[in-house]
Amino acid sequence: MASEITYAEVKFKNDSSAPVVKGPPETKKPEQHPQKYPLWLPWLISLLLLLVCIALVVVLLDRGWTCCPKGWRRFQGSCYFLSTDKLNCVKSAQNCSGMGSQLVVISSKVEQDFLSEQTKQTPNRVNFYIGLFEDKVGQWQWVDKTPYNVTAAFWREGEPSPGHDENCTVIYVSEPTLNNWNDVKPNTQHHRICEAAAVIV
């Protein structure tokens, strides 16, 4: 008996005579998000922070790095002490020297304005010795030998008095104007203003 032969047709997937070449795997593209701020904004913030830092350094160098002893008042590059007790002219000068300072030498209108305001602060006082003396009749001299300039002086009207018996100078607090210097006798007791250079740390 003859055996029966059965044929079947079989198909294979991707059956091809050409070799299959695989390419690189596809990379997933990052999702695009809309930008929330302009590109220049971080640069602007950085610049502003830098300017703030520079401003702080300038302020600290101007104010924070100079100091005065307790009870003294700072203005520009100097420290000022306004006494509450009274001494005569010579002892006032000695007292300031003993504190490493001198009776104040007023060299500008802004300094005169500052001191005039300070003398009006509480407690109420009347006269303050400053470092201006009459060396010879009509010849005024600052305690530190700074040349006396009559155009930068702040005498009250009618001052200084003629003669040589009033050869020390005070700021007369009751005078409402900046011209408040008054010459007085050296043995009279008044308050004093001492001046020292501010300490730089």
When the pLDDT of each residue in the chain is averaged and rounded to a whole number, the result is 86
Q: pTM of the full predicted structure?
A: 0.68
Coil, helix or strand at residue 123: coil
Distance CA 195, CA 79 (A): 6
pLDDT of residue 71: 94
For the chain, the domains span 71-200
pLDDT of residue 37: 72
- Dihedral of alpha carbons 51, 54, 59, 60, sign: positive
Distance CA 110, CA 46 (A): 39
Collect the ranges in the chain with pLDDT lower than 50: none
User: pLDDT of 113-164, one tens digit each?
Assistant: 999 999 999 999 999 999 999 988 889 999 999 999 988 899 999 999 987 8
* Token pair in block for residue 60: 């600290």
Distance CA 162, CA 165 (A): 9
Coil, helix or strand at residue 192: strand
CATH class of 71-200: alpha beta
Buried b (16+ CB within 10 A) or exposed e, 23-56: eeeeeeeeeeeeeeeeeeeeeeeeeeeeeeeeee
